[in-house]
Structure 1
Amino acid sequence: MGADKKNSHDSQGWLRYSDNVSLEEVHHTIKIPHNGGFWKKFFAFAGPGSLVAVGYVDPGNWATSIAGGARFGYSLLSIILIANLMAMLLQSLSAKLGIVTGRDLAQATRDATGPKTAFFLWILTELAIIATDLAEVIGSAIALNLLFKIPLLVGIVITTVDVLLLLLLQKKGFRIIESIIIVLMITIFSVFVFEVIISKPEITSLLGGYIPKAEIVTNSEMLFISLGILGATVMPHNLYLHSSIVQTRQFKQSEEGKREAIRFSILDSTISLSIAFLINSAILILGAAAFYGKGLNVSEIEAAYQLLSPTVGVGIASTLFAVALLASGQNSTITGTLSGQIVMEGFIKLRISPWLRRIITRLLAVIPAFIVTWIAGAKGTGELLLWSQVILSLQLPFAIVPLVIFTSSKEKMGNFANGKWTKILAWTITCLIIVLNVFLASYIFITGHELG
């Protein structure tokens, strides 16, 4: 790992710790046509946004959004909208940090705090990645069970072999990974457009759901699900991921080149997150249109699958639902591994083989999933899936606070530092998330709250 140079700062106020580029094997490997037109440049920069958006439509989102729609109708669509707008701002800051400083968020945090604090934050981030991977493991196992009647325990074991798929993709180049992600995202989007159309939602109530209601705060059940949606939407590991993968592009290192890279990267992530927003909205809308007010207990993905076709009257609806779930789970495996590699190398400067990194991450998620499934069955996996999103929500401040501090620093960002209104908005979002998370932790501790 090498010796750290204590009390040595560069001209931007960073401690001199990071001496490696982020994701070295793909760093600056994708060419940008500097003399091309707008669309040619946009398509060259496009791609990282899709990888980021994957985290916003992983199986954890399904559990929370379906539960929210089935229990409370369209009311929590406003939470999805607010969370997505928060995500757009935070991801834009993440991209800007990577492009301007040449550091991902993990490296920047280490270079600003030192190795001891970085090690503590690495542990917290690893827990968030495990929670993310847990959602993917359970989601993929559930999809295999629904489509092929494979027992959940066997499905959980099968999900460990997707490391082979990832290793194959990594050898083909970063653009191949981005292309496959985009195809799977289009598949998920198309399925839910169809599902929403056949569920025949009430348009007036649907649109009204995007208007925030006071009941969300006063009703503890609604607030709990809302925080789960927030945790499933604004993903802490995505902030580390985005600040790294934007550096795969060969943009000019001049101020003009960085400004252009920021502009196209933000456009890329905003478009991708808008698609993720539509998918998440569609999942909740489907839950509300198909199950709300019908006396059905639909708090888990399996129940939604079993009841969907009979409720909407279209036989293929449940099968397509499971296909999209499987695509969602497989999508997430790629970004989870990349994020794990980024935070391990960035926080503690430890480089290990991608296959070993993937096995470690996957086993840490598979073991609790296997144990809970063995003891509690399908209901236990549903509970674990929802709770994994709450864990992500609780970890968010430890990623957001450093991100806002760094990107607001004139010393570290120069002319790219956040402006007045961006600072106000970013800190407002940060404080809101922290307050809500303190309330959530207190509520769970005092009441011993259980989902369901």
Structure 2
Amino acid sequence: MKKFFKNIGPGPLVAAAFIGPGTVTLCTLAGVNFGYALLWAMTLSILATVVLQEMSARLGVVTQKGLSETLRNEIKSPLLKSIIIVLILSAIVIGNAAYEAGNISGGALGMEKLFGTGKADVFGLELKLWPLLIGIIAFFLLYIGNYKIIERVLVFMVILMSLAFLITAILTKPNIPEVLKGMFVPQFPQKSILTIIGLIGTTVVPYNIFLHASLAKTKWSYKSDLQYARKDTVIAVVLGGLVSMCIIISASSVSFQDINNASDLALALKPLFGDYATYFLSMGLFSAGITSAITAPLAAAFVASGCLGWGSDLKAKKFRMVWIFILLLGVIFSSVGFKSIEIIKFAQVANGLLLPVIAGVLLWVMNKSNILGSHRNSSLQNVLGFVILGITIFLGAKTILSVFNVI
């Protein structure tokens, strides 16, 4: 058991990254509007995420390089290299800056439900204090620059988040046969297609592919450690997917439709299941917010450092500058209540373009013998990878079209 926990690491950080307040809100709406019918989309998402994240972790362990570093070295065409690097930096660095305010705001929402609204008047400007507290916690953990400390804190928070949402789901007394049917029998209720796309898109996240490779090389140094990396990936991603399912199940128990986010769900559960459901849901929302508030700046710093050839030392000045910039923007925007809609739309378009590009490039890298040798993809891994690539192309097109209100 001690050896098992010693080798748990990057996986929970990846799960922490994809279960943010946005995911919590989307799963809430999926449950309220469609009941258990869209649980199968999460089953599909878990499978796709396991396949891609295993490739990413394998790349990091075998090559001892991140994906962005590998791309810089392997893409020989200067024009193609420049296009991909600009796209990656736009989607992940700018995108994570846009989403960071949402991560911090979501965590603050959980705190407000537990301890009340914390506000202060500063020079006539009303500031929210909970986002500032979350920003300070995230800054402290990232500035220490010790991977093991960050890992342990996030593993604890992921366990707390998982228990919170699992207990909330159990309190709602779900219909188990219907839950199993929803998980394994695809259904397409009317007006559900965008929600299905959202559930898959919020789980199969482009920046996690970069984050995982960088964290895996930090955690493990030998090819013999691949067995631990694989177990870590499967356990964490499946656990993360189950957390999302628990949110959908919890929201399915609410009979009225006037719910727009997890905060509304907490209020709706109170008369049905008492204060406990509200407390557990609020704890889960806080955990989801703070874990994403830490992993988003960290991922952006790894990506920027790899793309620009800065190295990936957590204590390096340039590395710190990237995550401080993103964290600071998130704290400011969430404290003053600024809604960066246009920036988020840009990030969604960039991510829609990036996901199929990164999935395709990852498959290309994972089949290169000069990089991975005997650890390159098997035929089965390639088949699964190309099926997922097809799904990501579909998702990317739909995301971009929906942003421009074409669908």
2: distance between equivalents of 1:244 and 1:394? 22
CA positional deviation for 1:57: 1.9
Counterpart secondary structure, 1:295: coil
Determine whether 1:298 maps to 2:271. no
Question: Cα deviation per residue 1:2-60 (whole Å; 9 max; x = unaligned)?
Answer: xxxxxxxxxxxxxxxxxxxxxxxxxxxxxxxxxxxxx6654433211111111132211
* Paired AA for residue 331 in structure 1: T
CA positional deviation for 1:345: 0.5
Determine whether 1:439 maps to 2:398. yes
TM-score, normalised via structure 1 length: 0.78
1: distance between equivalents of 2:127 and 2:42? 30
1: distance between equivalents of 2:261 and 2:343? 11
Residue from 82, 85, 89 that aligns with 1:116 = 82
Counterpart secondary structure, 2:297: helix
Match of 1:11 in 2: none
Counterpart secondary structure, 1:233: coil
Match of 2:43 in 1: 81
Determine whether 1:246 maps to 2:191. no
Match of 1:230 in 2: 200
CA positional deviation for 1:352: 3.5
Determine whether 1:283 maps to 2:247. yes
2: distance between equivalents of 1:444 and 1:386? 6
2: distance between equivalents of 1:64 and 1:337? 22
Match of 2:141 in 1: 169
Match of 1:331 in 2: 291
> Do the aligned partners of residues 63 and 281 (structure 1) sit closer, same or farther apart at CA in structure 2, a change above 3 Å counting?
same
Determine whether 1:270 maps to 2:231. no
> Do the aligned partners of residues 123 and 157 (structure 1) sit closer, same or farther apart at CA in structure 2, a change above 3 Å counting?
farther
CA positional deviation for 1:277: 1.6
> Do the aligned partners of residues 99 and 298 (structure 1) sit closer, same or farther apart at CA in structure 2, a change above 3 Å counting?
same
Extract unaligned runs of 5+ from structure 2.
Answer: 120-124, 311-315
**Equivalent residue runs for 1:416-435 within 5 Å:** 416-435=375-394
Match of 1:5 in 2: none
1: distance between equivalents of 2:233 and 2:98? 23
1: distance between equivalents of 2:24 and 2:345? 9
> Do the aligned partners of residues 320 and 235 (structure 1) sit closer, same or farther apart at CA in structure 2, a change above 3 Å counting?
same
Would the aligned equivalents of 2:29 and 2:251 in 1 still touch at CA under 8 Å?
yes
Determine whether 1:57 maps to 2:23. no
> Do the aligned partners of residues 56 and 230 (structure 1) sit closer, same or farther apart at CA in structure 2, a change above 3 Å counting?
same
Match of 2:309 in 1: 349
Determine whether 1:319 maps to 2:279. yes
CA positional deviation for 1:299: 2.4
> Do the aligned partners of residues 41 and 419 (structure 1) sit closer, same or farther apart at CA in structure 2, a change above 3 Å counting?
same
**Equivalent residue runs for 1:94-173 within 5 Å:** 94-113=56-75, 114=78, 116-117=82-83, 118-150=85-117, 158-160=130-132, 162-170=134-142, 171=144, 173=146
CA positional deviation for 1:107: 0.8
CA positional deviation for 1:123: 1.8
Extract unaligned runs of 5+ from structure 1.
Answer: 1-38, 253-257
Matched residues, percent identical? 24
TM-score, normalised via structure 2 length: 0.86
> Do the aligned partners of residues 222 and 101 (structure 1) sit closer, same or farther apart at CA in structure 2, a change above 3 Å counting?
same
Match of 1:402 in 2: 361
* Paired AA for residue 137 in structure 2: L
CA positional deviation for 1:172: 7.4
Would the aligned equivalents of 2:95 and 2:344 in 1 still touch at CA under 8 Å?
no
Counterpart secondary structure, 2:61: helix
Structure 1 vs Structure 2 CA RMSD: 3.0
> Do the aligned partners of residues 91 and 194 (structure 1) sit closer, same or farther apart at CA in structure 2, a change above 3 Å counting?
same
CA positional deviation for 1:236: 1.4
Would the aligned equivalents of 2:352 and 2:399 in 1 still touch at CA under 8 Å?
no
* Paired AA for residue 240 in structure 1: F
Count of residue pairs the alignment pairs up: 391
* Paired AA for residue 416 in structure 1: H
